[in-house]
Amino acid sequence: MEVSNEAKGSTPNVNRPMKLLTSVVIWYGSFAMGLSASFLGTTLLQFSENYPLAPSLVVYFGIAVIVGFSSGGFDTAHIVWLIDLWSGEAAPYIQVQHFSFALGTFVSPLIIRPFLAKREVDQTLTDFTNSTTNDNMDPGTSEIWIPFLIVGSSCILGGVAILGVTCLRNFGPCRIGNQTNPPNHIEKKSPNTSYKIQLIMLACLIVGTYVGMEITTVQFLPTFTHFIPLKLAPSDGAKILTGLSAAFMSGRAVGIFLVLKIRPEIIIVGNFVVILVGNIALHFVGGTSLEILWSGAVLLGVGFSAVFPCFYGFLEKHLHVTDVIGAVIISSSGLISAIYPVIIGTWIEQNPYVLMYTNYGSLLICWISFGAMYWIIRGARVEGYVGGKEEHGAMIELKMKEIEL
């Protein structure tokens, strides 16, 4: 069986400085995507009929669709690229990438804040609120184009940087080793099709359920705080969400170092436990205690912080995540998570605790699916199959041993 790296769709062997440079560029691109992803949502609250930089609301939403489509493509590509680049050790690099995105969403309101009317400033802390203003910004006097120029330039710079490292990787002096084909014989068996399909299906279910839980919790938390017995004002609900976001970003920063010492599956299980504790706190006590409400929100932020990047770090060790597999997982999970806003948005005003109920169900599905995935992987190891790092790197490792001999 003669297979080359290029035939397998992998990144050509490059030296470590080039890998680090490529990773930094991907991280910056994720930061820029975080800026743009939350930027449109923030500014949407500021205009009711007129928009200073677009001739109509239709054009505005058209721009938002383009941003969403581009972000989805980048979201799929950058994870696969990092996994391909750091095969078998991608977990901390994926963690940094997600921290970069979280940092971008945190910085975005700070960029636009000075250019908004003072009465609207408090609304920039969250993308989700039921209150709007009837005052329209005058296109002739508004300086709203300045933050848009900043964020747009940041995104363009990210695209140029990615194009630069791609050209440098393909044509520059960054390759190492002999690019000839590896040896014909491999002692370990590659995972069969059934094994791969099972892992992909479970990955779609886990990612879709988890992403739906995370996004809707962030989206509807201010609404939840308004309809619980405490009946917080929208501005106070925004502060609660800010606490969750800060804990979320801090947890991702800490996770960069945790994944170097602790296996991803252990971090995932630990985060699920933290999410469960935070959910219980909000459900049973948070409705009547402001202190517990804050504590529960912070716990949810910490629990959400490392699940997504650690899961991909776990998956890439047991399955070679190609472009197609990455796209299937992201797209399928997006369809699953799209169900959540419909369910919660319909019932949250009548019963705000529907947010907690859906989180319980999501955690149960994640627990069962992740347990099934772990059981399948252990069974594959007993049968002698290899995946992820071994499948991707076994040929290269055997080739290097032949060269040493």
Q: What is the CATH number of the domain that holds 350?
A: 1.20.1250.20
- Same domain? 62 vs 209: no
Residue 9 confidence (pLDDT) = 44
Residue 378: both structure tokens together: 């252990």
Which structural domain range is residue 66 located in? 1-179
- Same domain? 256 vs 304: yes
- Same domain? 54 vs 142: yes
- Same domain? 205 vs 107: no
Determine how many CB atoms are found less than 10 A away from the CB of residue 55.
9
- Of 130, 158, 179, the residue that ends a domain is 179
Backbone angles phi, psi at 111, to 5 degrees: -70, -45
Residue 372: both structure tokens together: 């099934």
Is 395 within a domain?
no
Q: With contact defined as beta carbons under 8 Å apart, do 195 and 382 qualify? A: no
- Same domain? 362 vs 277: yes
- Same domain? 343 vs 208: yes
Is 391 within a domain?
no
Residue 10 confidence (pLDDT) = 47
Residue 66 confidence (pLDDT) = 78
What residues form DSSP beta bridges with 51?
54
* pTM (global) more than 0.75: no
- Same domain? 266 vs 130: no
- Same domain? 359 vs 216: yes
- Same domain? 156 vs 196: no
Q: pLDDT tens, position by position, for the chain (405 residues)?
A: 344 444 344 454 668 888 899 999 999 988 988 787 666 544 544 554 455 566 777 777 777 777 767 777 777 788 888 888 887 777 788 889 888 888 887 787 677 767 755 444 344 444 434 444 444 445 445 677 788 888 889 889 988 998 888 888 776 555 544 444 444 444 445 557 888 999 999 999 999 999 899 888 988 898 899 899 999 887 788 788 888 888 988 998 998 888 888 999 999 999 999 999 999 999 999 999 999 999 999 999 999 999 988 998 898 888 888 778 888 888 887 788 889 988 998 999 899 999 999 999 999 999 999 999 999 998 876 454 445 554 444 444 444 444 444
Residue 52 confidence (pLDDT) = 56
Q: CA-to-CA distance for 273 and 62, rounded, in angstroms?
A: 40
Residue 16 confidence (pLDDT) = 82
Q: With contact defined as beta carbons under 8 Å apart, do 318 and 387 qualify? A: yes
From the list 357, 356, 307, the residue with the least C-alpha distance to 333 is: 307
- Of 179, 209, 244, the residue that ends a domain is 179
- Same domain? 43 vs 171: yes
- For residue range 37-86, what is the model confidence (pLDDT) as tens digits? 666 544 544 554 455 566 777 777 777 777 767 777 777 788 888 888 88
- Same domain? 40 vs 174: yes
Residue 55: both structure tokens together: 């001739």
- Same domain? 198 vs 340: yes
Is 266 within a domain?
yes
Is 397 within a domain?
no
- Of 123, 150, 179, the residue that ends a domain is 179
Q: With contact defined as beta carbons under 8 Å apart, do 184 and 4 qualify? A: no
The count of domains in the chain is 2
Determine how many CB atoms are found less than 10 A away from the CB of residue 248.
24
Q: CA-to-CA distance for 108 and 103, rounded, in angstroms?
A: 9
